[in-house]
Amino acid sequence: MNVKRYFAPSAREALRALKAELGADAIVLSNRAVEGGVEILALPADDVGALPGTPRAAAPAARPAAQASAPASEDDDFQVSLSGRTPAAPAAASKPAKIIRPFNPPRMETADYVMRTRAAALSEQYSIDGWEAPEAAARPLAADKAPAPRKPAPAAPQVRAAEPARAMEDERIRSLQEANVQLMKEMAGIRSMIERQLAGFAWGETRRRAPARADIVGELLEAGFSGVLARRLAESVNEEASPEDARTAVKNALARDLRAVASDADIIDRGGVYALVGPTGVGKTTTTAKLAARCVVRHGADRLALITTDGYRIGAQEQLRIYGRILGVPVFSVRDAADLRQTLAELRNKHMVLIDTMGMSQRDKMVAEQAAMLTGAGDVRRLLLLNSTCRGDTLADVVRAYSGPDLAGCVLTKVDEAASLAPALDVAVRNELNVFYVANGQRVPEDLHLPNRAYLLHRALREQSDESPWKLQGDEAALMLAAGGV
């Protein structure tokens, strides 16, 4: 038996040397790693029969086994069993393939299912033993149907520990918000104080450079004009003007801006449909009767019709019907927009139609509904009645509420009751309203007049007496300008 030993740094090189010397049919007896490389012991294929305890018949069989175990390539490593038996198949190939089954979630057994199962089991047991199921056995099952009440889980230690910190954070945020509010109030107070001081400085400078202009601003403010219009009118006064020249300049500037109608051409002569609107108690029904009387005098009673929409005030419709019977004019009562539209369609051959509307506060949301009803009825123009006895800010609020593209102008009422016409003229000038008539009493039709420009300016620019508590003293005009933010 000729056993050969091969040593090389790697198994690949040792196998290459083995196959070069003994051939591809050589039998590898052992291979092991030694110091410096790999040692392989091999036996030629012809000496297989000389192995002790090996029958001759096994030699031919060793060759196929060796050939089967040899690699396909010369350079590939391979292992051969020490015995001449055919090497077994790899262990991985002998294992059965892993079967992947679908996931079946566990079934949740409800209380009803458990009750039915236990009842069926007891019934089966009783039937086997020859008994009948007692009712007492079913009562515990019904009790098992209701789940036991859950006790509230105790709060986690972390949650209990966080509650004081959260409360402290909320308190800190609330304190910061209160501090911010207080800071804003203080800043607003500081701003107001600075504005008053600046207004005082500006007023002092104005009095030094143009004393007549400063005096006329004070007179306009105490008469009832707004600070905006007072300053605008005072710009027409020269710095070197005298008090008389200043008053003349302001009167001329106010006369140019006042839109006072000088004749009945825009209302009575032209005709059309007019709705008299305004707050409660301003004199809409009386003014409607006065305008109707003027139209009857010029065009006759058959050319005029009256309509009332006031179904809320007691006696409102009857009051207008009395005026209609006196003038010989028909009076119609309407309830809604459709009724008004139909009535106006029937009266389209009339020269003039006057609509007496329901009075309502300028802050009432029905003001917008009334304007929409009149606009949707056709070509209806509105006349706003302004109470001359009201404050300027109240009149400005009324004009703001009743404004619109169909507002033809205004009528100043209760002129005889007003101490000054400055607030009414101020609102008319700043909103560029046409003043059609002036009413100064309850008589029909005597107390309705065309606006006299000179009379209105005289009533508006009349000075306060020295004994009047409304007379401004010193720098009170500057304080009023600062308080009004103008």
Render pLDDT for 60-116 as a digit per residue (tens, 0 to 9).
433 433 343 444 444 444 444 344 444 444 444 445 555 555 555 555 555 566 566
pLDDT tens across 165-221, in order?
788 888 888 888 888 888 888 888 888 777 666 665 565 566 566 677 878 888 888
Contact yes or no for 341/376 (Cβ under 8 A): yes
Nearest-CA neighbor of 413 among 398, 403, 430, 401? Answer: 398
Q: What does DSSP assign to residue 389? A: T
Cα Rg of the chain, angstroms: 57
φ/ψ of 43, rounded to 5, equals: -130, 135
Q: What does the pLDDT read at residue 477?
A: 59
User: Which domains, ranges and CATH numbers included, belong to the chain?
Assistant: 4-87 (no CATH), 263-450 (3.40.50.300)
Mean pLDDT value across residues 305-314: 78
Question: 86-95, 130-139, 162-171, 241-250 — which one is most confidently predicted on average?
Answer: 241-250
Q: What is the pTM of this model?
A: 0.56
Element (H, E) at 211: helix 211-223
Element (H, E) at 42: strand 37-43
Residue 410 has pLDDT above 90, yes or no: yes
- DSSP, residue by residue, 212-226: HHHHHHHHHHHHT--
